[in-house]
Amino acid sequence: MILAESQWRPLADAHAAAVDELAAAHLERRRRGEKHPVEDFLWTYYSHRPGQLRRWYPGPGVR
């Protein structure tokens, strides 16, 4: 299956917006040098950076 840009672009943008919303508090605290015991642990333990999570992939078999 091949997706046209008009199909995949809105999906990718929605995905990036969702990740931005979920990571916003963490990034703001990090910018201010503040700590949050639970959220900092999750971001460190799973070692996913917000920029990595923003990358959208349509799934196997889709180009």
Q: Does a structural domain hold residue 59? A: no
pLDDT of 59 higher than 90: no
Is the separation of the CB atoms in 19 and 53 below 8 Å? yes
Burial of 40 (0-12, 13-18, 19+ CB in 10 A): middle
How many separate domains does the chain show? 1
In the prediction, which pLDDT does 33 show? 97
Q: What is the pLDDT of residue 61?
A: 85
Mean pLDDT, to the nearest integer, of 24-48? Answer: 94
User: How far is Cα 35 from Cα 38, in angstroms, rounded to an integer?
Assistant: 9
Confidence of residue 63 (pLDDT cuts 50, 70, 90): confident
Instruction: Determine, yes or no, domain membership for 63.
Output: no
Q: Could you list the residue range(s) of the whole structural domain that residue 11 is in?
A: 7-54
Dist CA 26 CA 50 (whole Å): 9
Distance CA 30, CA 35 (A): 7
Confidence of residue 38 (pLDDT cuts 50, 70, 90): very high
The pLDDT, as a whole number, for residue 18 is 97
Kindly provide the residue ranges of all beta strands, DSSP E only, lying in 3-56, ordered along the sequence: none
pLDDT greater than 90 at residue 54? yes
